[in-house]
Amino acid sequence: MDVSPESVYLWTVPMFHCNGWGFTWGVTAMGGTHICLRRVDPEEIFRLARERGVTHMGGAPTVLIAMYSSPAAEGQRLDGLSIVTAGAPPAPPVIRTIEGMGAKIHHVYGLTETYGPHTICAPQLHWEDLSIEDLAMVKARQGVPYIIANTNLIVADDECNEVPRDGETVGEVMMRGNNVMAGYYKDPEATAEAFRHGWFHSGDMAVWHPDGYIEVMDRAKDVIISGGENISSQQVEKILMEHPAVLEAAVVATPHSYWGESVKAFVTLTPGENADEGEIIEFCRGRMARFKCPKSVVFGDLPKTATGKIQKYVLRDREWQGYEKRVH
């Protein structure tokens, strides 16, 4: 991340979350400066970035959305600022907007069980020739394992056989490496289940591209199965985020009497913008197979963790309250 003694790191990621994605120790080890915030406040972020010469910061995609959708973003520039984002794959509009303000996005991927980031979407020289839209697409993928993790990351089937690197076949992301946990505390059964066949099973479903980069399609528990067809909630969310009136979106399975499950979208609109359910559904129908499109849309704020990550399980549990637990 090019952290040096001259670096100034602004804390928008809680230090308790995956050790602050490693920056608690990394910035200190390099002799850089820490600037701490009590809470995520876009106005304060822009002020400190401007007045204190902030060079680095981190934040989930929802934090970045809060920044550029804030009235405080008017006329602001983020030139020279490196931003690490994680917690969920950033939708291409998020990358395009933040980098359009002058910042540079670094997309990392990992879990608490890997002590935070395990890979970084390392840029390639030929990416410089890509359009802004295509660059945002490749930057939304996951990439190169950290040096301490060696190259121990695969996308594989249930028997740990690697899936083809065709960008289409879906498998589970699995890891090994020096930063992968030894196991769950006093829970040998859960540890054995997580390390089947000697690999840590992340629970993330992804495709493997020919260039070696992976693209997380969904958490296994977030995949929607409608009429026997698997639907990636994140794929639908990325389409929703392309609508000019949509600020944030979350997609979950909801009970359906005939298909078993159907797609339901929860949407937060951009301040000052308007859209109705029919418009949102029609927008999706023009960009993906109809069976993947939301059957209903609810507008309002989304539940989030302290790190700004959308709590889809809250939405999902609300939808399935009173129904028998699903088994995928």
Task: State the CB neighbour count (10 A cutoff) for residue 121.
Answer: 22
Model pLDDT for residues 172-215, shown as the tens digit of each residue: 999 988 889 999 999 999 999 999 999 999 999 999 999 999 99
Lowest-confidence pick of 24-28, 74-78, 150-154, 217-221: 150-154
Contact 236, 267 (CB under 8 A): no
**Pair (214, 238) in one structural domain:** no
**Pair (78, 108) in one structural domain:** yes
Q: Look at residue 328 in the predicted model and tell me its pLDDT.
A: 45
Model pLDDT for residues 273-282, shown as the tens digit of each residue: 999 999 999 9
Which CATH number characterizes residue 245's domain?
3.30.300.30
**Pair (133, 17) in one structural domain:** yes
Amino acid identity for residue 230 in this structure? N
Nearest to 222 by CA among 195, 203, 241: 203
Which CATH number characterizes residue 80's domain?
3.40.50.980
pLDDT of 326 over the 70 cut: no
Tell me whether residue 154 is in a domain: yes
**Pair (167, 243) in one structural domain:** no
Region 7-32 average pLDDT: 92
Helix (H) / strand (E) containing 62: helix 61-69
Tell me whether residue 2 is in a domain: no
Task: State the CB neighbour count (10 A cutoff) for residue 144.
Answer: 16
User: What count of Cα atoms within 13 Å lies in the side-chain half-sphere of residue 93?
Assistant: 18
- Domain final residue pick, 118, 140, 162: 140
Tell me whether residue 13 is in a domain: yes
Q: Look at residue 90 in the predicted model and tell me its pLDDT.
A: 87
**Pair (62, 169) in one structural domain:** no
Contact 226, 260 (CB under 8 A): yes
**Pair (12, 134) in one structural domain:** yes
**Pair (201, 244) in one structural domain:** no
**Pair (237, 298) in one structural domain:** yes
- Domain final residue pick, 197, 219, 241: 219
- Domain final residue pick, 121, 140, 159: 140
Tell me whether residue 325 is in a domain: no
Model pLDDT for residues 113-127, shown as the tens digit of each residue: 988 888 999 999 999
Tell me whether residue 260 is in a domain: yes
Region 297-309 average pLDDT: 87
Provide the number of structural domains found in the chain.
3
Amino acid identity for residue 104 in this structure? K
**Pair (131, 43) in one structural domain:** yes
| Residue 324 pLDDT level (bands cut at 50, 70, 90) | low
**Pair (180, 123) in one structural domain:** no
pLDDT of 151 over the 60 cut: yes
- Whole-model pTM over 0.85: no
**Pair (183, 202) in one structural domain:** yes
Tell me whether residue 54 is in a domain: yes
**Pair (130, 163) in one structural domain:** no
Q: Which domain holds residue 242?
A: 223-319
pLDDT of 168 over the 80 cut: yes
Tell me whether residue 162 is in a domain: yes
